[in-house]
Structure 1
């Protein structure tokens, strides 16, 4: 945002200022700061929504085309490193990817770690090299080649930077709308001062001191108080001005809410999130969640999945049926009683066995021979068999 960019690197009295909440509070009042963080709040809400969804996904691993649960499965679903579980790791990965447009993951001593900072050198015909990679105060004294790391990148454009530039205009509109709202209900009046008052002494204070205290302190407290009394000296006479509109109208409030809605809608479109989902609307949640999965979560998981497969498996292993797949079906909450008939249909058609369906529903697999068998009812048969039966009946 414009204010943040201005304050970063600004020096006050020859001393650099660290940009933090505490620092801002020294120079910006709370109301103005609330306006400044609206864009950041909306972007973080969108990123957290996406990160939380992907952290619920299951990273399935396959060996020879069949699902297995080896070391790779454990790393992505339970413990990628000693200090993070899989959910924390994935939330940080997605948040950094969406906020910074890129994220670097390295492996050290069998642990997957997300780099907090790095220097990247790109080449046309050689591998990109990453140096000065650091995490939690540790800077690695070696360089990493592109083939040795997982490097996730969204696009050549930084979405957050584009949003910041776009939302800068909204900040100005929001400030104007808030000012209009405040003025609509503000009190106005006239202060009459007798000519002789300007030359009088008020105890030990001069007229200028009394006047400055009245205008800068007493009137401010008087106007901001719900109930108050304003003491005036001889020669001062305050008269309230009749206002055309004493109460704040709904139009001023609507101006503010419209701009806030515009910010939310802009951020939602940038991250391919249904607007109603980011706003928290509860109507038709199932439908908008499907759209969210289709246009936001699935493409992001596809990109993450491909980078993992090409770096940690490689072409030869993938051709042998060894690969990783991100299952996004776990994102939506499933009520087993709502889909009981569909479960029966999936088993009856031979599409899934009992254990496969129990896994999708989040239940423990039975692990028996019967629960792993596929069944098909007599309703499902080849067309030729049906014709033979009809022919036999008419013969």
Structure 2
């Protein structure tokens, strides 16, 4: 069961219809739906949750109340990791997510709400906002909330339509396996047993006991009274055919994971735990999945959490630094070339690496340690002057 199976309620009729309409055979869709979605979406949610939400003034980190809310304790019931995991999970599942600020200045991810977006040029509003079991009886204007639209129509179409096809195939595969391994038997009973109702009842209880032993015991030995004859008619499927069937089921699960991974932008090899071309897969993951999400979140946070004069005059920004932050030791050679060519100062390089500028005045100097000079320049080295 995924971390947020009980969290989302929005679009509940759509979200749960595939689970409730097949109560007679829950294996058809609910299992395969939850397994595939939880695996891929929680992978993305964990990535974002490990990021640091920096409040920057120029190139300096400001650790104020806003920084504390975004990185430590958004509200009394959640820490920052739980908060951002829920945020990303709802963004991907519902294709949108809403954060409100309570009257005591805490941040909450809304579990349910109604979005009034047909108001012409007027600001859009949200009503009937639910936080756990608490319902707000007032409107929230768009300018007062954090609202992100994921806008991945492919994922919505896949989860709401194409799951039906995969679910039917998966359900039939399981049913076939159950039939192939089903215990089937015939009990021949003398007609004298059937005349006595009390004896007939005892006979039924006895047969139920026999089949219960056969079904639950690795070694089953039962007494067979006179007048009863038991014949086994179970399917005698070969072990090879059984292995083949389970392999096909595993391939189907893998196929669904791959499809969802590609739609969301996660390289399937990361979900499947494959180590080949791992570095390229990670770079692709950040480029096509994480970075677009980060840009949307940053733009919304900067537009809603900072005042205009803070953004323009104080150069304040909210910047998300994720786990893609590179280790300077891995880039030592490239850093040396940037510094020694005279193109960047030490502090400019520190900022590019996600660090704050240092206070040492030498870090603001341009240093040229290589002989980068024009081919038209006169040589600066030579023999003695004549």
Could you state the TM-score of these two structures normalised by the residue count of structure 1?
0.76
Judge conservation of contact 2:98–2:109 (CA < 8 Å) in 1: yes
Q: Which residue of 1 aligns with 2:94?
A: 100
State the aligned residue count: 364
Q: Which residue of 2 aligns with 1:387?
A: 376
Write out aligned runs for 1:228-377 (5 A). Answer: 228-241=220-233, 245-247=237-239, 249-313=242-306, 318-320=311-313, 322-328=315-321, 330-332=322-324, 338-349=330-341, 351=344, 353=346, 357=350, 360=353, 367-369=358-360, 372-377=363-368
Question: What displacement does 1:291 show?
Answer: 0.8
Gaps of 5+ in 1: 8-26
Q: Which residue of 1 aligns with 2:166?
A: 170
Q: Summarize the Cα distance change of 1:351–1:60 in structure 2 as closer, same or farther, 3 Å threshold.
A: farther
Q: Which residue of 1 aligns with 2:204?
A: 212
2-side partners of 1:225 and 1:360: how far apart? Answer: 63
Judge conservation of contact 1:222–1:230 (CA < 8 Å) in 2: no
Judge conservation of contact 1:106–1:114 (CA < 8 Å) in 2: yes
Q: Which moved more, 1:227-236 or 1:190-199?
A: 190-199
Question: What displacement does 1:368 show?
Answer: 4.1
2-side partners of 1:205 and 1:306: how far apart? Answer: 78
Q: Which residue of 2 aligns with 1:153?
A: 149
Question: What displacement does 1:271 show?
Answer: 1.6
2-side partners of 1:80 and 1:375: how far apart? Answer: 42
Judge conservation of contact 1:184–1:246 (CA < 8 Å) in 2: no
Q: Summarize the Cα distance change of 1:273–1:360 in structure 2 as closer, same or farther, 3 Å threshold.
A: same
Q: Which residue of 2 aligns with 1:118?
A: 113
Question: What displacement does 1:297 show?
Answer: 0.5
Judge conservation of contact 1:184–1:245 (CA < 8 Å) in 2: yes
1-side partners of 2:192 and 2:18: how far apart? Answer: 47
What secondary structure does 1:249 align onto?
helix
Question: What displacement does 1:338 show?
Answer: 4.3
1-side partners of 2:164 and 2:220: how far apart? Answer: 39
1-side partners of 2:181 and 2:226: how far apart? Answer: 30
Question: What displacement does 1:145 show?
Answer: 1.4
Q: Which residue of 2 aligns with 1:144?
A: 140
Q: Summarize the Cα distance change of 1:258–1:353 in structure 2 as closer, same or farther, 3 Å threshold.
A: same
Judge conservation of contact 1:336–1:361 (CA < 8 Å) in 2: no
- In the alignment, which of 42, 45, 51 is matched to residue 51 of structure 1? 45
Q: Which residue of 2 aligns with 1:87?
A: 81
Question: What displacement does 1:195 show?
Answer: 4.4
Question: What displacement does 1:379 show?
Answer: 1.7
2-side partners of 1:278 and 1:301: how far apart? Answer: 20
Question: What displacement does 1:185 show?
Answer: 3.8
Q: Which moved more, 1:189-198 or 1:98-107?
A: 189-198
Question: What displacement does 1:35 show?
Answer: 6.6
1-side partners of 2:61 and 2:335: how far apart? Answer: 24
Q: Deviations over 1:257-281 (max 9, x none)?
A: 1221122122212322111212233
Gaps of 5+ in 2: 1-15
Q: Summarize the Cα distance change of 1:358–1:324 in structure 2 as closer, same or farther, 3 Å threshold.
A: closer
What secondary structure does 2:377 align onto?
helix
Judge conservation of contact 1:55–1:87 (CA < 8 Å) in 2: yes
Q: Deviations over 1:123-174 (max 9, x none)?
A: 2221111223343454444322112222111128494574143223222211
Q: CA-atom RMSD, angstroms?
A: 3.8
Question: What displacement does 1:301 show?
Answer: 1.0
2-side partners of 1:309 and 1:196: how far apart? Answer: 87
What secondary structure does 2:376 align onto?
helix
Question: What displacement does 1:82 show?
Answer: 4.9
Question: What displacement does 1:36 show?
Answer: 2.8
What secondary structure does 1:37 align onto?
helix
1-side partners of 2:289 and 2:132: how far apart? Answer: 30
